[in-house]
């Protein structure tokens, strides 16, 4: 019987292992973490992350062949395959600050594996790591491991998207496994392939060398984010010319070489991965002496920052160039729908921009708590090329200027404007007439996710701005936004 242990019970480790346990009842899967609250959450009725369908999968396997534990050493020692799915955030200080991946958690996990292992292990990189990390891990294990214990390192990056994680894991576009091109390396790849082959068709399991697998994950995220920045760049031109970005994206996406997905214009991409992984790619390119390649990918992030700034500027300039003391309802704080995750959400930058202009914001999100909002808005961000007005406020200023509402109607009551920052389905069917009646006039809606029916809202009486859509006369008359 194969035993799997996964280090890191986060957005990736938890769902990935739950699906492996579901599909492989004869494999014992233990997810370990140093965070006691996280493990307690996984062992409770209220899982620590919100992900559609996940409760059901966990309920089916927990106590059967899936468990969650803080006894990291014991379970790592017992396992045949150790997945490492710890966080790899952007470094905030020292060499490469604001760009390079911080591998502190990874290194400490690797040293711990070397310390406690008494039998051979396959160590699987599940976290997204810089290309060539496997080489560093091999060295740590070789120099610190016990005599006679052998390790094979595999790269098996995860491609799930938050909000659809369970669906993506049950039916992945591909599973990627990279390993050493030696007999031992090939045997390790085959062992991991056997796990996935229980539910993933063979032609969707790709095997490569280690460096291709590591780099493919960074490249895939860079390509996805680049599509968003491309359509967002076009959205600015649409507003300037009277074209409609939805029509342009539809026409462009009909080309089979381009395809229709990931072409929705928005206030910008967020989430823990896109920005971090592109910055990491930029840093790697610089380290390998490829400044042109680094510059190319850096622009994807610049356009994303530009899009968030443009949105804030549009709000402020439309409202007579000042939002000081005006209540602005913010609908949606998570970085996308169907998740409570707020890491790098554009809502943080937009709210900080509005707060910097002295607005009073009232935030509603169906999955994000008030404590989380307060933490996010107080947080210092690494200030890589971020404009000054996106700097966070002090805790005292924030308490005066930020409120969290129980629903969209409470957020909009007595507001001058509504900003939609997450595409939650419920925002498509709100009673906007009711909101309009309770707002100051002129009442503005700034739709950062293109979820509202612009014509209907204009009929109600709103001044409406929707990213990349033809502008109201009102907005055309306002000074151009930078």
Q: Does 200 help bind ligand NAI (rule: CB under 6 A)?
A: no
Q: Which of 24, 61, 273, 351 is catalytic?
A: 273
The reply to whether 105 sits near ligand NAI by the rule CB under 6 A is yes
Q: Which stretch binds ligand NAI (CB under 6 A): 27-35, 51-59, 252-260, 262-270?
A: 27-35
- Contacting ligand NAI (CB under 6 A), which of 13, 145, 268, 356? 13
- For the bound state, the minimum distance from the C-beta of residue 457 to ligand NAI, rounded and expressed in Å, comes to 33
Give the distance from CA 202 to its chain's centroid.
28
Fill in the per-residue mask, 265 to 304: x = in contact with ligand NAI (CB under 6 A), - = not in contact: -------xx-------------------------------
365 φ, ψ to 5°? Answer: -140, 130
Q: Is 17 in the site for ligand NAI (CB under 6 A)?
A: no
Q: Which is nearer to ligand NAI, 167 or 434 (CB)?
A: 167
Q: Does 11 bind ligand NAI (CB under 6 A)?
A: yes
Annotated catalytic residue 419:
no
- Could you tell me which residues come within 8 angstroms of residue 326 by beta carbon, excluding any fewer than 6 positions away? 319, 359, 360, 415, 416, 417, 440
- Segment near ligand NAI (CB under 6 A); pick from 158-166, 424-432, 456-464, 466-474: 158-166
380 marked among binding-site residues: no
Using CB under 6 A, which of the segments 18-26, 32-40, 288-296, 381-389 binds ligand NAI? Answer: 32-40
Which residue in the set 4, 109, 189, 405 belongs to the binding site for ligand NAI (CB under 6 A)? 109
Part in contact with ligand NAI (CB under 6 A); list of ranges 7-15, 133-141, 198-206, 426-434: 7-15
Name every residue whose Cβ is closer than 8 Å to that of residue 81 and which is 6 or more positions away in sequence.
2, 3, 4, 5, 121, 122, 124, 191, 192, 195
Residue nearest to ligand NAI (CB): 10
Binding-site members are 8-13, 33, 38, 86-90, 127-128, 162, 273-276, 343
Binding-site members for NAD(+) are 8-13, 33, 38, 86-90, 127-128, 162, 273-276, 343
Catalytic residue IDs: 273
Q: Which residues bind ligand NAI (CB under 6 A)?
A: 7-13, 32-35, 38, 72, 85-88, 105, 108-109, 127-128, 158, 160, 162, 272-273
């Amino acid at each position: 019987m194969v035993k799997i242990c996964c280090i890191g019970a986060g957005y990736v480790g938890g769902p990935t292992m739950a699906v492996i346990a579901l599909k492989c009842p004869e494999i014992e899967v233990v997810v370990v973490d140093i965070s006691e609250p996280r493990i307690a959450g996984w062992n409770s009725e209220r899982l620590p992350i919100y992900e559609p369908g996940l409760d059901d999968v966990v309920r089916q396997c927990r106590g059967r062949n899936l468990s969650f534990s803080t006894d990291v050493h014991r379970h790592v020692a017992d396992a045949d395959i150790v997945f490492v799915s710890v966080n790899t955030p952007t470094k905030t200080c020292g060499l490469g600050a604001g760009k390079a991946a911080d591998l502190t958690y990874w290194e400490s996990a690797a040293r711990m594996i070397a310390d406690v292992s008494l039998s051979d292990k396959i160590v699987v990189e599940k976290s997204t790591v810089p290309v060539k990390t496997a080489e560093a891990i091999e060295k740590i294990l070789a120099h610190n491991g016990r005599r006679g214990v052998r390790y094979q390192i595999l790269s098996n990056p995860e491609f799930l998207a938050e909000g659809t994680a369970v669906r993506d894991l049950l039916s992945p576009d591909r599973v990627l496994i990279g390993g050493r091109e030696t007999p031992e390396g090939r045997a390790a790849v085959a062992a991991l392939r056997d796990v996935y082959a229980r539910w993933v068709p063979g032609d969707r399991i790709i095997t490569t060398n280690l460096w291709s697998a590591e780099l493919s994950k960074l490249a895939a995220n860079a390509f996805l984010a680049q599509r968003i920045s491309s359509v967002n760049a076009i959205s600015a031109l649409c507003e300037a010319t009277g074209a409609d970005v939805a029509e342009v994206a539809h026409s462009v996406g009909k080309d089979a070489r381009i395809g229709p997905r990931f072409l929705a214009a928005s206030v910008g991409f967020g989430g823990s991965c896109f920005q971090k992984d592109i910055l990491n790619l930029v840093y790697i390119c610089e380290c390998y002496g490829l400044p042109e390649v680094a510059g190319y990918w850096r622009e994807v992030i610049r356009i994303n920052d530009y899009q968030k700034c443009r949105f804030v500027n549009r709000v402020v300039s439309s409202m007579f160039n000042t939002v000081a003391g005006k209540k602005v309802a913010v609908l949606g704080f998570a970085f996308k729908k169907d998740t409570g995750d707020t890491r790098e959400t554009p809502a943080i930058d937009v709210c900080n921009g509005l707060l910097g202009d002295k607005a009073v914001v009232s935030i509603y999100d169906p999955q994000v708590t008030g404590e989380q909002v307060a933490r996010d808005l107080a947080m210092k961000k690494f200030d890589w090329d971020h404009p000054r007005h996106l700097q966070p406020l002090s805790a005292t200023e924030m308490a005066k200027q930020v409120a969290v509402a129980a629903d969209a109607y409470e957020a909009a009551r007595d507001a001058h404007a509504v900003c939609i920052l997450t595409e939650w389905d419920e925002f498509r069917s709100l009673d906007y007439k009711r909101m309009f009646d309770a707002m100051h006039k002129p009442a503005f809606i700034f739709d950062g996710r293109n979820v509202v029916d612009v014509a209907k809202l204009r009929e109600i009486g709103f001044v409406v701005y929707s990213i990349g859509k033809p502008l109201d006369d009102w907005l055309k008359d306002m000074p151009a936004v930078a």
